[in-house]
Structure formats: C-alpha cells, structure tokens
Structure 1
Amino acid sequence: MRHETVIDLIAQPLRDEPEVRALFLSGSHANGMADAFSDVDFVLVAQEGASDAIARIWRKAVARTGKIVLWWDRTTVPVLINAITEDWTRTDVVILRPDQMGAHTQAGLKPVFDHDGIYDTLNEKPAETGPDTRKLKHQIEEFIRVLGLLHLAVGREEYINGVLGIYHLRNLLVDLLIEETGAPHRGGVLHLNRLITGPQKALMFSMPPPVPTRAAMIDAHVAYAAAYLPRARRLALAWGVAWPEEFEAATWAKLEESLGVTRPYQPE
C-alpha cells in the first residue's frame, strides 16, 4: 500500500476523535527523504497522552491499513507503539500530551492535522549544539576496550564470541565514518548508503569478514584498528577531544605480550 494511502486511512477517523488534538509525520516523511522502503513515523498529540484508550483508538486506525501482524504497545518506550501490517507496512507512533511537545521542532514534523495550532508554537529548528565530544570520547575508549578483549577471547579460544567483538568494532567504525561526513539527517539504521561517501564505502567493503578462527579473528581486529584509530585521532584532534594515550598504549602492550600483535599504525 502506498504510504500516502496509509497516512490518509489512519488520519481520517482520528480527526474526529475529541481526545486527539494533532497528528504529525516525523522522520523521513517529515524531512522529505522517505522512499518506498521507509516506515511511517507519527507523533500523535492527545489531551491525556499515551493512555490505554488512545492506544485502542490508534490500533483501530492502523487496522484500516491492513491486518496487523506485529503490535508492540508501549513496550520499549512508554509512549511508543510499533506496528507491522500483513504487507509489511511499518508504522510507529509517539503519543504525547500538548505540554510534552517542547522537544520537537517544526523542522522535524509535518502536520497532518493540528486542531490547536501546536505546530506554530514550536521552535523552527533545533538549537546548534556542535559536535558531541563526550560521545566521541566514549566511542574511542569503547573501541580500544573491545580491541583489548582480543587477548582474552584468544586465550580462552572463544572464537565465536570473538567474532561478536569484530561486529562491535565494525559498528564503531561506521559511527565514526558518519561523524566524519556530518550528515544532517541520520535516519534509521538502514540508511547508511546516503550517510557515507564512496571512499568510505570502499573502506567498509575492504574490511575482512568475521570468521571464528584464531588467525582470522586476530587479523580482523588488527585491520579494524588500522582503519579506525588513525581516523579517530584526526577527528578527536579537530573536535578538541583528548586522546586516551595511556589506555591505548597499555592495550597494545598487552596484545603484543600475549599475541605478538603490534600497533598497525604510527600516530601522526
């Protein structure tokens, strides 16, 4: 079913519900970056917020778009309901009271209907906050920590669990590449193609696969370290984030002592 039809079918009965004061599109349908594979994200404003009564009203509206085969009702987040219908249309709604809308901006929403003019009271766009230096510092330290666990995984011959470490290093490298591009609209986890550059994609394609053997696990950890750490150092320098020199040095010393692995790059 076309997303425009899904939006109309859901919105029609909600317009006449006295408790429902507004319905907005958010996510990719609000910022104009939606495609045929996007989910449909809503923000619903109800006088009493995410009550059981509003949840029932919402389910009835979503059911107009097809048979519901998955329904997560305020499980992961107290105000969030996720649904998937039989044709795999995905709809998410965040249900808020009018006084909880202050965190949203006009740039992140597109009105479907708005009985009380809530949209006009919102800030136009988020305030400029600059780079998240605390997040970058934590991610760098986390990369080094996971890298250091290699000696433990090899020592115990935990090659299956060691593969999980490679996936973790991969995710941290992806996060770093996204930070490098400074993409303004991150979107969901399945939008990586539009967030990183061609050379960055080539780097990711060149990385070794996770294979649960001793040699392959060591090689993959070293390859990810060679790809991540020099780039992270440059970004940390640009953002004014102090590099954890002692932690990195201790980690390489442990890996050399236990596995004969040496640092695969020279700090600039």
Structure 2
Amino acid sequence: MTRDDLIEAVREAADADPRVVALFLSGSLGAGDGDRWSDCDFVLVAAPEAHATFVEQARDWIAGICAPVLWRQVYPGVPLFLAVTQAWLRLDLTVTVPSHLNGARATWRPLFDPQGLHDRLPKHPPSRSPGPDKMVAITEEFLRSLGLLPLSIGREEFVVGVTGVGHLRAQLIALLIEGHAPPSPPGALRLSRVLDAEEIALIESLPCPAANREAVIAASMACAAAFLPRARGIAQQLGATWPEALEAAARAHIRRELGIEIPR
C-alpha cells in the first residue's frame, strides 16, 4: 500500500460509514506543500451523537483499512491518534464534530464532504502575533535548564549533559518559531516551513557535543550565546517582563560552581 492508496482507502471508509460527516486531509499534504516524507494528517468529522463511540472505536476503524504496528492516543482525553503501518506509512487521525472545525480552506483538502463544510471554513488560518507570556515561559525554561549544567558536570554525568544541550537547543528552536507566530505549530520534522535560512544556519552551527566536560560546557555556552540576546530583544519588542532575577541567579550559580560566565 502506497501513501496515495492509504488516503484513498481512508476516504472510501469514510464515505461508507454513516457516522462520518466529512473527512479532510490537513498538514503539509492538505496545504499542498508535502513531499515524499510527509505523513497523512486526517481530520474526521463525526456526527455529534456518534462522536464518543467513534473515538472509542477509532483503532478498530483504522485497523479495518491498514493494520497498524503502532497506535497511540497522543494526549489523554483528546481524540487525536497517531499510527504507523507495516509499510511505515505514518498517519494522524483527529476525530471531531462539525461545530469544532478549526481549519482553513487553504490548508485542509476535502476528501469526503457531502455537506460542503469545507466551503464554510475561512480561506486562511487567522494571523497572530508572538505571545509575550509564551516567550517568557520559553526563556524561563531555558534558564532553568542552563542552571542544571553544574549538576551534570559535578556528577560527571556527561551523557546527561549532552541531553541537557539538546533541551537548550530545543528551547532556542521554540523561541525562533514563536518569533514568527505561525497560526499553528510546524511539524517537528520540518522546521524550514517556518524558520528562515539564517535561523536554520544558526541552529546548524551549534555544536553537538561529545560526552565530556569541555564539550558539554562549550555547547551549553554556545546555546546561551545564541538564545539570550535574541530572547531579550524579542521580549523588549513585545513589552514582556524579562526574568531578571532568574537570569541573575543562573549566572551567579554557574559562575560559583564552574567559574565561567554565561555569554550575554
């Protein structure tokens, strides 16, 4: 079964199921900019009275189309599921109702839509601005994680330190993404849809450390040098309250424990 076969099989199953009101393809394929690596993001609209039952039976419904080797509900209580097939086709399935549609015509492709729900969607997702509170939360998490550097160094848990560098890098990526304020978060596997070439180059330039003291410290400081000036500048632009006390405490802690200064 190819990806196109999977899409057609899901469409046919939706068409044949009286509980299904509509079926859309979202994500990069729905927006028309997918590639051979893109997964299938399905939004299935169930009749309100059938929604709860359909959610309970979603795995069986998909298994009747393609037996998954992995099935997972992404968030407890949220009707969003992911699956992987034997041929390593990846799909997400969101089960919703007509009153809760939150897509746009430009980013959702109708596969089965006898009631014309697609025509009622806005043409484009609503625009938004970067969130000051989210920027502060990202910055606080970066500083908290950076403050754990003496722990991994002091315990000589350098593998833990490498993991910490990965978390610092992830917070930098989150900061850069929020700076663009996309209507919806990009897939974790395709940052180039949101970040510009300079930002991608910045992330690529950060060292991936070996599991030793010097490399972990150097990589952590490189992340700090990339993150802190950008975060501070964005906070100033948004009028967000910078976590001065937390930054000062992190700087003093690392200076005291490691004898080094966090770049400004």
Is the pair's TM-score, using the shorter chain for normalization, greater than 0.5? yes
Q: CA deviation at 1:182?
A: 5.0
The verdict on how the C-alpha distance between 1:219 and 1:73 changes in structure 2, with shifts beyond 3 A counting, is closer
- 8 Å CA contact 1:50–1:96 kept in 2: the answer is no
Give secondary structure in 2 for the equivalent of 1:93. Answer: strand
1:15 counterpart = 2:19: no
- 8 Å CA contact 1:83–1:90 kept in 2: the answer is yes
Q: CA deviation at 1:185?
A: 6.5
Number of corresponding residues: 260
For 1:81 and 1:135, locate their aligned partners in 2 and report how far apart those are by CA, in whole Å: 26
Q: CA deviation at 1:187?
A: 3.0
For 1:162 and 1:208, locate their aligned partners in 2 and report how far apart those are by CA, in whole Å: 13
- 8 Å CA contact 1:181–1:197 kept in 2: the answer is no
* Unaligned stretches of 5+ residues in structure 1: none
Q: CA deviation at 1:79?
A: 1.4
The verdict on how the C-alpha distance between 1:13 and 1:210 changes in structure 2, with shifts beyond 3 A counting, is same
- Alignment of structure 1 residues 22-101 onto 2, 5 Å: 22-47=22-47, 48-51=50-53, 52-53=56-57, 55-60=59-64, 62-63=65-66, 68-72=68-72, 78-101=78-101
Q: Deviations over 1:140-171 (max 9, x none)?
A: 11111111111222223322222221110011
1:230 counterpart = 2:229: yes
The verdict on how the C-alpha distance between 1:25 and 1:125 changes in structure 2, with shifts beyond 3 A counting, is same
For 1:100 and 1:197, locate their aligned partners in 2 and report how far apart those are by CA, in whole Å: 32
For 2:257 and 2:57, locate their aligned partners in 1 and report how far apart those are by CA, in whole Å: 60
Q: CA deviation at 1:75?
A: 6.8
The CA RMSD measured in Å over matched residues stands at 2.4
Give secondary structure in 2 for the equivalent of 1:106. Answer: coil
* Unaligned stretches of 5+ residues in structure 2: none
Matched-pair identity in %: 39
Q: CA deviation at 1:112?
A: 0.9
TM-score w.r.t. length of structure 2: 0.87
- 8 Å CA contact 1:68–1:86 kept in 2: the answer is yes
TM-score w.r.t. length of structure 1: 0.86
- 8 Å CA contact 2:42–2:94 kept in 1: the answer is yes
Which amino acid in structure 1 is aligned with residue 63 of structure 2?
R
